[in-house]
Amino acid sequence: MQQVTQRRLLSALCHGAIFFSSTIVSIGIPIAIMLTTNDSVVKANAKESLNFHINLYIYAIVFALLILVAIGIPLLAILAIVSFLMPLLAILHVLDDPNVPYRYPFIFRVV
């Protein structure tokens, strides 16, 4: 029972790290969890969280460059909404079913 509780907590912390900061702290937490845990589900959630963070940074840079064409502002607004909602869905998923890692849709898996 304790392992399931720990799995829920660490997986939720990986996905919720984006709410702590939009800087390197949000990437550092999943990396630290990934390097310190032996649980394969938690590691998978940490990798998925890292991939989501990396994708958000890439999309933000591309959309910021598109501000010059006047389409970047609405795209950045949509990105802000997605960067808030998707981690919430991931947290709810890992709390509901801690034995299955959450997979974000429409992202590139770099890690």
41-74 pLDDT, tens digit per residue, is 999 999 999 999 999 999 999 999 998 888 889 9
Mean pLDDT of 30-46: 95
42: which 2 tokens? 């938690």
Mean pLDDT of 93-104: 95
More confident residue, 68 or 85: 85
Which residues make Cβ contacts (< 8 Å) with residue 83, sequence separation at least 6? Answer: 18, 56
Mean pLDDT of 86-109: 95
The percentage of the chain sitting over the pLDDT mark of 90, rounded to a whole number, equals 81
So where are the chain's domains?
2-96
Round to whole Å and give the CA distance between 24 and 73: 24
More confident residue, 26 or 86: 86
Q: Which of 17-26, 32-41, 59-68 has the lowest mean pLDDT?
A: 17-26
